[in-house]
Copies of this chain bind each other. A is one copy, B any other.
Amino acid sequence: METLSENTAFGGVQGVYRHRSEACDCDMTFGLFLPQEAQDGPVPVLWYLSGLTCTHENAMTKAGAQGWAAEQGIALVFPDTSPRGEGVADDPAYDLGQGAGFYVNATQAPWAPHFRMWDYVAEELPRLIDANFAIDPERQAITGHSMGGHGALTLAMALPGRFRSVSAFAPIAHPAGSDWGRKQLTAYLGADETAWAGHDASLMMRETGFDGPVLIDQGGSDQFLDLLKPETLAEALAARRQEATFRMQKGYDHSYFFVSSFMEDHVTFHASALWA
Q: Which residues of A contact B (CB under 8 A)?
A: 7-11, 14, 61-62, 64, 66-67, 219, 221, 251-253, 255-258, 260-261, 264
15 extra interchain contacts, Cβ-Cβ under 8 A, other than A7-B255, A8-B253, A66-B261?
A7-B257, A7-B258, A8-B219, A8-B251, A8-B257, A8-B258, A9-B257, A9-B258, A11-B261, A14-B257, A61-B61, A61-B62, A64-B260, A66-B257, A67-B261
- Rounded to whole angstroms, the CA-CA distance of A197 and B64 in the bound complex is 38
Which of B9, B11, B219, B261 touches A10 (beta carbons < 8 Å)?
B261
* In contact, A67 and B260 (Cβ under 8 angstroms): yes
A8 partner residues in chain B, CB cutoff 8 A: 219, 221, 251-253, 257-258, 261
Chain B residue at minimum C-beta to C-beta distance from A255: B7
9 of the cross-chain contacts (CB-CB < 8 Å) are: A7-B253, A7-B255, A8-B257, A8-B261, A9-B258, A10-B260, A61-B256, A64-B64, A67-B260
A264 partner residues in chain B, CB cutoff 8 A? 67
What distance in Å separates the Cβ of A66 from its nearest Cβ neighbour in chain B? Answer: 7
- A9: chain B residues at CB < 8 Å are 257-258, 260-261
Minimum distance in angstroms from A91 CB to a CB of chain B: 27
Partner of A64, one of B67, B252, B258: B67
Report A84 CB to chain B, min CB distance, Å: 23
Determine how close the nearest CB of chain B comes to the CB of A106; give it in whole angstroms: 32
- A58 — nearest CB in chain B belongs to which residue? B61
Bound-state CA distance A263–B258 (Å) is 19
Q: Write the chain B residue with the least CB distance to A251.
A: B8
**A264 to B62 alpha-carbon distance, docked (Å):** 16
Contact residues in B for A256 (Cβ distance below 8 Å): 61
Q: Could you tell me the distance between the alpha carbons of A62 and B65 in the complex, rounded to whole angstroms?
A: 11
Contact B258 A66 (CB under 8 A): no
Determine the chain B residues whose CB is within 8 A of the CB of A11 once the complex forms. Answer: 261
A251 to B7, CA, bound (A): 8
- How many whole Å from A261's CB to the nearest CB in chain B? 5
Shortest beta-carbon distance from A265 to chain B in Å? 11
A116 to B165, CA, bound (A): 53
Residue of B nearest to A62 (CB): B61
